[in-house]
Amino acid sequence: MKAVVFAGDRKVDLMDFPDPHPGPGEVVLQIKASGMCGSDLKYYRNPAGTPTLGLGERKGPIIAGHEPCGVVVEVGEGVTEAQAKVGDRMMDHHYSGCGVCKHCRTGWSQMCIDGITVYGTTGHGAHAEYMKVPAHTLVKLPDDLSFTTGAAISCGTGTAYGALKRLDLAGDETIAIFGQGPVGLSATQLAKAMGARVIALDVMAERRKLAQDFGADFVIDPTEHNDLVSAIRDLTNGEGVHKSVDCSSNAQARADAVRCLRAWGVACFVGEGGQVTLDVSQDILRRQVSVVGSWTFSKNGQADCAAFVSERNIDVDRLFTDRYTLDQADEAYRLFETQTTGKGVFVMD
């Protein structure tokens, strides 16, 4: 089968791999949609052989793509029909741990005490015709959702949902969402569906326009304001927002996400990597604000996100501004790296 590999230094290879076959407890998915995620750009840009940010060791060429969605085509020994059967439409929770530690038992495999496999990073991912995964990582795709929506929920949209649930966002609250890439746009879309008032921020005009189309009540270009926090307070009767989420990984945006909160507000950091500097007394303690982190979502959270999208009839497919075949991977990531578009997805027949 053909599959996409990040070779480093902005090089993408389309390589041949053997078709996978399941061992005990495993299944093979025929991939129907595999989303492109902002975190892919780390591995796209980094020099060959760069470490995986503490996520484990890479052995040989690894198939990219950690937003899998497809159909079960082969089932290994010991997999029950309750777990998976041929023909089932499935997403994949793209982590696998020991399965028995306290984190794995609650669906948080990415926090496994004994180490994890991250599909698309340390294990073969979904930018391919087929993907082999443990049956316990599968999450059923509701019948009314498309494969592309399932791919988005498998990371970007699921991550946004996880952050909003971590914040316990309520319908009478205002939230500032820093960064309107695929995760930020998903947060904007989901926050509006939860009834919140949304202030969306991004430096790119194209992404601000997308946020507006997704229902943001206000869009802000941070580069146009010498005092961004004051600009946000002006939209909230001088108090600041109830909640904020940073999807940008930008140090200044993270600091502003904390400083733009009203008293007792909560900020959530989603974007990976980097550092932020805050005045602990003035920015946090004396305003009684909280700062939390949110690392993607649990397996149960992925299922909850899919149910929310289905029940609220949310058009997640609007996130996708670009669709590709596998042989267009080089073109796809060149455009995606400009960070001016919505989400990209590889679609397989």
Q: Where in the chain is the domain with CATH 3.90.180.10?
A: 2-155+297-347
Residue tagged 């950690």 (tokens): 66
Question: Average pLDDT over the chain, rounded to whole?
Answer: 95
Q: So what's the pLDDT on residue 269?
A: 98
Instruction: Please check the confidence at residue 58 and state whether its pLDDT lies above 90.
Output: no
pLDDT confidence of 188, banded at 50, 70, 90?
A: very high
CATH 3.40.50.720 residue ranges in the chain?
Answer: 159-293
Whether the predicted pLDDT of 208 surpasses 70 = yes
Location of structure tokens 């984190």: 103
CB atoms within 10 A of CB 168: 9
Q: How do residues 292-349 score in pLDDT, each as one tens digit?
A: 999 999 999 999 999 999 999 999 999 999 999 999 999 999 999 998 889 999 999 7
List, for residues 134-155, the tens digit of each pLDDT value: 999 999 999 999 999 999 999 9
Distances 188 to 3, 121, 131, 158, 225 between C-alpha atoms, Å: 32, 27, 31, 13, 21
pLDDT tens across 264-287, in order?
999 999 998 899 999 999 999 999
- Tell which residue, 257, 262, 254, 253, has the closest CA to residue 287: 262
Q: What is the pLDDT of residue 76?
A: 98
CB within 8 Å of 29: residues ≥ 6 apart:
68, 70, 71, 72, 73, 90, 92, 126, 130, 131, 132, 133
Task: Report the distance separating Cα 67 and Cα 35, nearest Å.
Answer: 5
Quick: pLDDT tens for 219-233. 999 999 999 999 999
pLDDT of residue 343: 95
pTM: 0.94
* Whether pLDDT at 48 is above 80: no
What pLDDT score does 53 carry? 54
Architecture of domain 159-293: 3-Layer(aba) Sandwich (3.40)
pLDDT at 60: 78
Distance of CA 238 to the CA centre of its chain: 32
Q: For residue 123, how many C-alpha atoms fall within 13 Å in the half-sphere facing its CB?
A: 18
The confidence score (pLDDT) of residue 54 equals 54
Q: What is the pLDDT of residue 86?
A: 98
Q: Give 2-155+297-347's CATH code, choosing from 3.90.180.10, 3.40.47.10, 3.40.190.180, 3.40.190.10.
A: 3.90.180.10
Percentage of residues of the chain with pLDDT beyond 90: 91
pLDDT score of 47: 85
The answer on pLDDT for 52 being more than 60 is: no
